[in-house]
Amino acid sequence: MKVLVIGSGPIVIGQSAEFDYSGTQACKALREEGISVVLVNSNPATIQTDKEIADIVYIEPLTRETLEKIIEKEKPEGLIATMGGQTGLNLAMELKKSGILDKYNVKFLGTDAESIDLAESREHFNNLMRKIGVPILPGHVVSDFPEAKKFADKTGYPIIIRPSFTLGGTGGGTAYDEGELKKILGLALRLSATGEALVEKSALGWGEFEYEVIRDQFGNASIICNMENIDPMGVHTGESIVAAPSQTLSDRDHQKLRNATLKIVHAIGIKGGCNVQFSMNQETGEFVVIEVNPRLSRSSALASKATGYPIARVATKIALGHPLPEIRNAITETSAAFEPALDYCVVKIPRWPFDKFPMTSRVIGTQMKSTGEVMAIGRTFPEALNKAIRSLEIKIPKMKPEEHLYPPTDLRLFAILESFRQGKTTDELHRITKINKWFLNRFREITDLEKKISKGLSMEMLLEAKKAGFPDMKIAALTGKTEAEIRRMRKSGGIIPTYKIVDSCAGEFQAVTPYYYSVYEDENEAKPMPGRKVVVVGSGPIRIGQGIEFDYCCSHAAIALTEMGYRSIMINNNPETVSTDFDTSDRLYFEPLTFEDIMNVIENENPEGVIVQLGGQTSINVAQKLSEAGVKILGTDIDGIDIAEDRERFRHLCEKIGIAQPENATALGEAEALTIAARIGYPVVVRPSYVIAGRAMEIVYNESDLRRYMAEAVDVSENKPVLIDKYLDNAIECEVDAISDGSKVFIGGIMEHIEPAGVHSGDANIVLPSIRLTGKDRKTITEYTEKLAKSLGIIGFVNIQYVVRDGIVYILEANPRASRTVPFVSKAIDIPLAKYAIHCMLGRKLPKLECKMNHFAVKSIVFPFLKLLGTDIKLGPEMRSTGETMGLGKSFEMAYYKALLAAGVRIEDENRAAFISVKDEDKKEVPKLSKALKELGFTIYGTLGTVGSVEHAITIPKIGHGHPDAVELIESGHISFVINTPTKGGRANTDGYRMRRASIQKGIPCITNIATAYELLKALKKLEKIEVRPFDKYAS
């Protein structure tokens, strides 16, 4: 039997690593029954697209056309639609509705199309709820404003607007008056797949609860987990701080919601996993069902990790027709038909990207803005909460708490704590935030304890603080001591953590799966494992600049370690990932990734060494301290890491070994910075040292901009210097992922950026192999890479970025760790780099490896601009993308087109029209660009300043100077794509900004870079019919 599994594509806000996790579990569950799995996903940075996970892997755009080709070729008997998030579900529904599945006789396995439709279509769902007597909020499906207004006038504001079939609440919102209703509804209708949206009475301020349920076709069902959103209604569940299980429901309340959940899944006919969201007025006990997700979801990933119950695995078995009672619970070896009992408390906190998008409003609401999340486990609520807070790896800014309490921002939790410190009461904060007083009282417990500790620390109080989840660092700050002093005091008093098992049954049965969390109690259940063992430090929450790629590498480490006869110990705190799945490593410690927490695990296990190269900057950042504590860092040693990370030392090394760098220097203050910039000449690239993903990196063109930057940048990393580099314009940027065993260096590939240098490498479109570099350039890059890897003493991964101009190769930086392009390169050359890197770290020599590429691979990216209003979409040295896609083809053009297609760029064949508006520097390109566009049948629109001299071009008045203006034209839907290059330093509310924003909201590709535009046109021009192949068959 052959089964098709559809992945979820690139990481976007609202759809993250959780679908790699569910898809991977599904593939394993299918294959253990001898079923051949065909997997399709456009995201190369996923474990599910590894050949070890699925039998036949297609890395192709997730569109109906490509899927039809794959189905035609592979002829699968079945399809599982519920593992790839909303993307996979919508695509499967499209395949069903367009008759493709029936044409090729592909059956829906698990929850079928009719059931999905019942759950997803607002109208059908509401009718069904009325029929089975489950209460819903009064609401109305509308397709235009007058209808919505009529409803709102009758019901009263606020009104919730939800578009049908969208992800993460995109385009939804809460309208407090008619003006807002008009605005939000307009966007919602544009984004809705059906042109409809639901307007609903708001349950603002009510409690929000979620139930994760599993049901088989025979009607057996069990509730895996219930969860309580600490943020009441009005905040999307993905944006809420969540506790599991519920904390404030009595059994009577809980059974009421449980019964409703079962009624709903039976009526819909779920065959697999399902998520049901409720809202309850906790003053009256009245409740309503808010929505149902008939698929695996972010919440189901959280529920899986919170309970230890493998929902995706069991859902897959159900899809194959197995009755629930006959499926085994792999953790306890008992039946999967039970409801997990927790003997701990779980807290999830979202991770938001506002540090990257200072212009975006921090207010959180019904639309998701967070990119990832952390989870923590404790035996008390404050313990779990404190562990979750430090797992976020954020610096809590100074703030005025009252500005964050209501409407809530990402900082509300910290604002509440600060308010308690300032003497506010639970009642006052409840009035403002509507958060249940039980939770507020737990927050207050934390600040009360802080107060107590700051008055003097006894051993007894230290134990109390540790039991409440306080890190040593915080206790140190409260008592004026150092972290090391607290650690010593703790150990002298015998206060060390013990580890408990997450066993899904509260200790009732013997658990065989080693999944641990720390507490300060009596019994330690994690007796050190026998044998040779290695700790892998994970990468924490998904954030911009540190995405799923690192989890991919960590998961690979676990697999490689096992193959080499080691036992793998994973430490991570991200519930969405494969690395935190119960069978990825030999032992999983679900813990924060601070020095203290990692060190505690190391002291408990006493491993041979620790791998820090794979968890992005998170794990590299703890390397120094671990090494100082006597822990063996496997692979590149700490001095090598330091040389690469310390710009001054790095510069000296490059000088010594004769590798050119763009002229650069380090400045400690404004005066020094200005002197240096004047010396090396503007434009310059400035950034703080020890950066992650170009944080606060900027290209500065003049002195006044540099002054402004210095004033703002100091906050980013105190007492660390600012780096100033000469900016090389009109140069080719490229980068290398290489591995070394200490003597031999293997270069996975020399990747070339399609955009000119200056666009952050994480945001650039990248092609492999390079297309513009000369043979000589490549040779120099290879030589430099080998030389540098040896000089740094690289053992394992290194990623090096270069710029090439006028035949001279300059080095930009070297990262002594796995980069985000590792999975991309591995898939392009079909060699698992991570595996060999780990072999090197453990002392093996590299075998003879050969890159055979007979094809092209292009990496493209997706941005969160649609979700983050107020953000401009221009690109620069600061990374802003959330995810990536891969396009493969025999020609560069095909690969590039596919990568863009996968990233959501669609240009239809008919009625092609382009809108051009470029900055002055780019105007000289307009005639050439226009010619190329016309050849492809585009009608050209533009402002007088840009296209005035272009023949047959249609000129459009400036915004607000006539009708239709540029924004109106874009909104009208006449334009197939926009080319708009932003002026430097451009701020919000410029015309260019408004055009880019309008195109994003309309879903029209907007190219902000001339080079990208040319390449896209080249691709369109040469485009043949799309061909699909398994990714490892392109080379042949």
In the bound state with other proteins, the residue whose beta carbon lies nearer, of 221 and 659, is: 221
CB of 823 to other proteins, least distance (A): 39
In the bound state with other proteins, the residue whose beta carbon lies nearer, of 229 and 584, is: 229
In the bound state with other proteins, the residue whose beta carbon lies nearer, of 511 and 631, is: 511
In the bound state with other proteins, the residue whose beta carbon lies nearer, of 444 and 778, is: 444
Q: What pairs with residue 116 in β-bridges?
A: none
- Contacts with other proteins by CB under 8 A: the residue count is 53
DSSP state of 342: -
Q: Where does this chain touch other proteins (CB under 8 A) — which range of 85-93, 246-254, 882-890, 994-1002?
A: 246-254
Residue 339 touching other proteins (CB under 8 A)? yes
CB of 170 to other proteins, least distance (A): 34
Residue 347 touching other proteins (CB under 8 A)? no
Other Cβ atoms within 10 Å of 639 Cβ, number: 12
CB of 303 to other proteins, least distance (A): 14
Task: Characterize the bridge pairing of strands 515-519 and 587-590.
Answer: parallel
Among 247, 666, 955, 983, binds other proteins (CB under 8 A): 247
CB of 509 to other proteins, least distance (A): 8
Among 274, 505, 811, 940, binds other proteins (CB under 8 A): 505
Among 38, 191, 342, 643, binds other proteins (CB under 8 A): 342
By CB under 8 A, the residues from 407 to 436 that bind other proteins are 436
Closest-CA residue to 914 (of 903, 898, 930): 930
DSSP state of 823: H
For residues 7 and 86, the answer to whether their CB atoms sit within 8 Å is no
Among 460, 523, 908, 910, binds other proteins (CB under 8 A): 523
Residues 359 and 369: their CA atoms lie apart, in Å, by 13
In the bound state with other proteins, the residue whose beta carbon lies nearer, of 32 and 508, is: 508
For residues 751 and 770, the answer to whether their CB atoms sit within 8 Å is yes
Residues 31 and 369: their CA atoms lie apart, in Å, by 36
Closest-CA residue to 303 (of 325, 324, 277, 283): 277
Among 402, 403, 508, 909, binds other proteins (CB under 8 A): 508
In the bound state with other proteins, the residue whose beta carbon lies nearer, of 216 and 733, is: 216
What is the token pair recorded at 208?
A: 């929000």
Residue 263 touching other proteins (CB under 8 A)? no
In the bound state with other proteins, the residue whose beta carbon lies nearer, of 505 and 831, is: 505
In the bound state with other proteins, the residue whose beta carbon lies nearer, of 289 and 519, is: 519
Residue 219 touching other proteins (CB under 8 A)? yes
By CB under 8 A, the residues from 704 to 723 that bind other proteins are none
CB of 336 to other proteins, least distance (A): 9
Among 138, 321, 325, 493, binds other proteins (CB under 8 A): 325
Closest-CA residue to 661 (of 653, 670, 671): 653
Q: Where does this chain touch other proteins (CB under 8 A) — which range of 233-241, 522-530, 574-582, 941-949?
A: 522-530
Residue 385 touching other proteins (CB under 8 A)? no
513 φ/ψ angles, rounded to the nearest 5 degrees: -100, 125
**DSSP annotation string for 180-232:** HHHHHHHHHHHH-TTS-EEEEE--TTSEEEEEEEEE-TTS-EEEEEEEEESS-
Residues 576 and 595: their CA atoms lie apart, in Å, by 22
Residues 660 and 805: their CA atoms lie apart, in Å, by 12
For residues 75 and 50, the answer to whether their CB atoms sit within 8 Å is no
Q: Where does this chain touch other proteins (CB under 8 A) — which range of 521-529, 683-691, 913-921, 972-980?
A: 521-529
In the bound state with other proteins, the residue whose beta carbon lies nearer, of 166 and 419, is: 419
Residues 280 and 436: their CA atoms lie apart, in Å, by 12
Residue 673 touching other proteins (CB under 8 A)? no
Closest-CA residue to 544 (of 814, 301, 864): 864
Among 13, 324, 677, 857, binds other proteins (CB under 8 A): 324
In the bound state with other proteins, the residue whose beta carbon lies nearer, of 47 and 243, is: 243
Closest-CA residue to 972 (of 1008, 927, 942, 1004): 1004
In the bound state with other proteins, the residue whose beta carbon lies nearer, of 263 and 632, is: 263
Among 190, 362, 437, 906, binds other proteins (CB under 8 A): 437
Taking every pair of C-alpha atoms in the chain, what is the biggest distance, in angstroms? 83
User: How far from the centroid of its chain's Cα atoms is residue 478's Cα?
Assistant: 34
For residues 966 and 959, the answer to whether their CB atoms sit within 8 Å is yes
By CB under 8 A, the residues from 278 to 317 that bind other proteins are 282-285
Block residue for tokens 């999975």: 823
In the bound state with other proteins, the residue whose beta carbon lies nearer, of 132 and 808, is: 132
In the bound state with other proteins, the residue whose beta carbon lies nearer, of 265 and 747, is: 265
By CB under 8 A, the residues from 441 to 470 that bind other proteins are 441
**DSSP annotation string for 5-58:** EE---S-BTTB-THHHHHHHHHHHHHHTTT-EEEEE-S-SS-GGGSTTT-SEEE
By CB under 8 A, the residues from 745 to 784 that bind other proteins are none
Q: Where does this chain touch other proteins (CB under 8 A) — which range of 148-156, 376-384, 562-570, 764-772?
A: 376-384
- Overall residue count recorded for the chain in this entry: 1036
Q: Where does this chain touch other proteins (CB under 8 A) — which range of 177-185, 219-227, 546-554, 763-771?
A: 219-227
Residue 218 touching other proteins (CB under 8 A)? yes
For residues 469 and 385, the answer to whether their CB atoms sit within 8 Å is yes
Task: Tell me how many helices (H) and strands (E) the chain has.
Answer: 35, 38
In the bound state with other proteins, the residue whose beta carbon lies nearer, of 332 and 370, is: 332
Residue 159 touching other proteins (CB under 8 A)? no
Q: What are the residues binding other proteins (CB under 8 A)? A: 218-220, 222-223, 245-252, 254-255, 258-259, 262, 282-285, 324-325, 334-335, 337-345, 379-381, 436-438, 441, 500, 505-510, 521-523, 525
